[in-house]
Structure 1
Amino acid sequence: MTAPWLSPQREQFPGVPAWGVPTSQQPLPSLPSTRLPDVTAEWAWGGSDGSGIRVCVVDSGVDGSHPLVAPVDEAMTVVFERSDHPGIAPAEAIDPAGHGTACAGIVRSMAPGVSLSSMRVLTDAVAGTGRALLAGLRWAIDSDFDVINLSLSTTKPEFLPALHELADRAYFRRSILVVSAHNMPVRSFPWGFASVISVASHDQPDPFLHYYNPSPPVEFYARGLGVPVASPGGGRTRNSGNSFAAPHIAGLCALILGKHRWLTPFQLRSVLYQTARNVTPKGARHAPAGLLAAELTAEPADAAD
């Protein structure tokens, strides 16, 4: 069955305003849905490993041979066929810069069963252009990935309208776009958009621990300081930054979708909200997030330097 959110756009019906449908004459199909009971971490992702969920890391590439990352199911890159015209081409699963591999390793540690892919938009120096970002992100959205991790942004306002359009497209196609906030107090895009899940760092070691932020623009906090990450050459190191907080939330999203496939984007955000450590139903307490972390990871993420 084709997912309803990937169905062709409806035609305009005579006598009905644009985008409407005469439901008295053309009933809408019944849709599978996931009801949200009293949401806890155990309900949300307990027992899930992310199997069946496709995750794309849009970054500097991903090292498909790294033991903390492999396998990488698809690797693509942005190429400039002309000086101002980016295209998309298959690529080796490599990452000379290491940034994308670090992010991918976090996703894999959180959700070991996901199908992991790479879209390279950055150079070896972890730099890139807005045009490359737009082209790579467009490919990831149009390829119907369930979760897209974007641990980068642009400060150039000329790319804002196109990024807004892509973020909204992802939302309505049910591609969950998880974006890290800038590490500096500057205005950049697209992490401030309402249609994406924006993430900044907290300083605690539990990879499953996240907080909701009621003060815009960042929506959630996840582990981002002293994070054990995959490093070039098959090793491990520790890094800090919002770049490494985002894939923790991307991994959580994959776990949740792996267990509750028919959650809509706003339902998924509600699940993240309701399982945040600082959001507690009146008269109730959440179980420590670390208990689930121990159950769901063969080796805790902070076990090795």
Structure 2
Amino acid sequence: MSNTPAWSAAFDRGSLEEVVGLPIDRVREWAFGGSTGADIKVAVVDSGIDADHPRVGGIAGAVAFELDPDSDLGYVDREGPHDDLVGHGTACAAIIRSLAPEAEIYSVRVLGANLKGRGALLHAGVRWSVEHGMQVANLSLSSKSETMFGPLHEVADEAYFSGTVLVCAANNLPGPTYPSQYASVVSVAARPGDEEMALAYNAHPPVEFGARGIDVDVAWADRGSITATGNSFAAPHVTGMVALMRGKHPWLTPLQVKAVLQAASINSVTG
């Protein structure tokens, strides 16, 4: 798999090992069948969302975190509609919508026009998602900063214990990738294929799941679309699956969600 994002090689079909999954008959039907993601709150922590993009079809709410040196925290949060400064968040939201059409999607903007942001804003966006009862949060972004390892780890644990499933894309480049390397999150890298619901499990983490993320037709800025490759676009496929699963089985904990995702992977067998 040349010219693919970092962490993707583990999901090459020749590299996949069989893993033992939960003994649930027809696990994919049990997990996803008949669900639309209705009543499930999904936060897209990213560059914003174009709510008017035809592939998004509206959002349930929005908040933007912006740097402010005059604030005690160093940033402010602004509730209300906002633009997508790049197109990246819109791409993620549209993928989620394609799988979970009735999910309630919230835009949590933490990235700037250069698709970069401070770790403190990422941390604030995750905390907002937890405090506002998001059942799932899509993080198609990460931090390589060692200073953010502890704070992001702490808020990822808060999400895990409070019931918010964090679906985190690994960085496209080798090296540290937080929070996707934490055991408390659902970590995702890209793998080839056209099937939106295809999923593979990596028996040798830290990145546990591989989903569609190579040459994907995604929504973008100005109500347009592009063909893109990246772990960023694999994560929302998994987020959509989690929204379907929690819409059908709202009692599932983050621990149970991960176990069912593993059981629903193409390389999972019943022990």
TM-score (norm 2): 0.88
Structure 1 residue matching 2:137: 3-state secondary structure: strand
Map residues 70-219 of structure 1 onto 2, 5 A cutoff: 70-82=57-69, 85-219=74-208
Alignment of 1:61 onto 2:48: yes
In the TM superposition, residue 220 of structure 1 has moved relative to its aligned partner by 0.3
CA contact (8 A) 2:216 2:233 kept: yes
Q: Is the alpha carbon distance of 1:145 and 1:36 closer, same or farther for their aligned partners in structure 2, counting shifts above 3 Å?
A: farther
- Whole-angstrom CA distance in 2 between matches of 1:87 and 1:59: 16
Selected match of 1:237 from 226, 238, 262: 226
Aligned match of 2:17: none
Selected match of 1:275 from 250, 257, 264: 264
CA contact (8 A) 1:199 1:246 kept: yes
Structure 2 residue matching 1:88: 3-state secondary structure: strand
CA contact (8 A) 2:31 2:245 kept: yes
- Whole-angstrom CA distance in 2 between matches of 1:36 and 1:116: 32
Aligned match of 1:38: 25
Aligned match of 1:256: 245
Q: Taking every aligned residue pair, what percent have the same amino acid on both sides? A: 43
Structure 1: any 5+ residue segments left out of the alignment? Answer: 1-34, 283-305
- Whole-angstrom CA distance in 2 between matches of 1:136 and 1:265: 19
Q: How many residues align?
A: 248
In the TM superposition, residue 235 of structure 1 has moved relative to its aligned partner by 1.9
Aligned match of 1:300: none
Aligned match of 2:4: none
| Farther off after superposition, 231-240 or 155-164 | 231-240
Structure 2 residue matching 1:280: 3-state secondary structure: strand
CA contact (8 A) 1:200 1:218 kept: yes
Aligned match of 1:19: none
Q: Is the alpha carbon distance of 1:36 and 1:256 closer, same or farther for their aligned partners in structure 2, counting shifts above 3 Å?
A: farther
Structure 2: any 5+ residue segments left out of the alignment? Answer: 1-21
CA contact (8 A) 2:64 2:82 kept: no
Q: Is the alpha carbon distance of 1:36 and 1:62 closer, same or farther for their aligned partners in structure 2, counting shifts above 3 Å?
A: farther
Task: State the Cα deviation string for residues 3-33 of structure 1 (Å, max 9, x = none).
Answer: xxxxxxxxxxxxxxxxxxxxxxxxxxxxxxx
CA contact (8 A) 1:39 1:274 kept: no
CA contact (8 A) 1:39 1:271 kept: no
In the TM superposition, residue 92 of structure 1 has moved relative to its aligned partner by 2.2
Alignment RMSD: 1.5
- Whole-angstrom CA distance in 2 between matches of 1:96 and 1:78: 13
- Whole-angstrom CA distance in 2 between matches of 1:200 and 1:156: 20
Amino acid at match of 1:220: F
Amino acid at match of 1:229: V
Amino acid at match of 2:253: T
- Whole-angstrom CA distance in 1 between matches of 2:247 and 2:125: 25
CA contact (8 A) 2:23 2:270 kept: no
Which runs of 4 or more aligned residues in structure 1 lie more than 6 Å from their structure 2 counterparts after TM superposition? none
In the TM superposition, residue 37 of structure 1 has moved relative to its aligned partner by 4.0
Aligned match of 1:289: none
Aligned match of 1:50: 37
TM-score (norm 1): 0.79
In the TM superposition, residue 91 of structure 1 has moved relative to its aligned partner by 3.6
Task: State the Cα deviation string for residues 205-228 of structure 1 (Å, max 9, x = none).
Answer: 101000010111101000000111
- Whole-angstrom CA distance in 2 between matches of 1:87 and 1:262: 34
In the TM superposition, residue 234 of structure 1 has moved relative to its aligned partner by 1.3
Amino acid at match of 1:79: E
- Whole-angstrom CA distance in 1 between matches of 2:138 and 2:125: 12
CA contact (8 A) 1:222 1:245 kept: yes
